[in-house]
């Protein structure tokens, strides 16, 4: 799976790539679409697995200049 599959804007995908983030982690794959669809989630994953970005990517995507 890639960020395009998670319906993330090309601009945000480019920004992620510039920061060395090329593919979503498992926690991001499982949670981003639910968050984008305004669903409540409860997720658990080890430190350093991308939980913070799983929460922030949908927020950043919703406030991108295109919107």
Q: Sketch the domain layout of the chain as residue ranges.
A: 4-62
**Reported pTM:** 0.87
pLDDT at 47: 95
Mean pLDDT of the chain: 93
pLDDT at 66: 61
pLDDT (mean) for 28-52: 95
Q: Which of 33, 36, 8, 34 is nearest to 22 (CA)?
A: 8
Q: Find the helix packing angle between 10-18 and 51-62, rounded to 10°.
A: 140
Residue 55's pLDDT band (cuts 50, 70, 90): very high
pLDDT at 65: 67
């Amino acid at each position: 799976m890639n960020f395009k599959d998670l319906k993330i804007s090309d601009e945000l995908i480019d920004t992620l790539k510039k920061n060395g983030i090329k593919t979503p982690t498992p926690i991001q794959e499982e949670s981003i679409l639910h968050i984008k669809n305004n669903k409540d989630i409860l997720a658990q994953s080890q430190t350093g697995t991308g939980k913070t970005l799983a929460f922030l990517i949908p927020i950043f995507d919703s406030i991108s200049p295109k919107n």
